[in-house]
Amino acid sequence: MLALPVAAFALASAGALSTSSTSSSPVKPPIIGYVHATSSSSCESRNVNCSSNPGATCMSADATPLPVWKYNALGTACDQQLFKP
């Protein structure tokens, strides 16, 4: 009579120990990037999912994709290239 509850408890405990939680990194929200749409000195904003970490060039979602940039530390020009995350 006691064997059934003990067996159920043992199976439940073994199952709980064998599962592992998978933690996924949170999705980062889009950032504001800038494209040079009308001239090389223009900075037109775009919402993009880009990163400062080097990699493949991040491109805008425009009909004709353009490279995406961020403003430099002085905030005087959008000349810092962004990359795909």
Kindly report whether the global pTM for this prediction surpasses the value 0.85: no
Q: How far apart are CA 42 and CA 73, in angstroms?
A: 17
pLDDT along the chain (85 residues), means of 10: 52 53 62 89 92 94 94 92 92
pLDDT on residue 36: 92
Structural Rg of the chain based on CA atoms: 25
The residue among 64, 34, 63, 27 whose CA lies nearest residue 48 is: 34
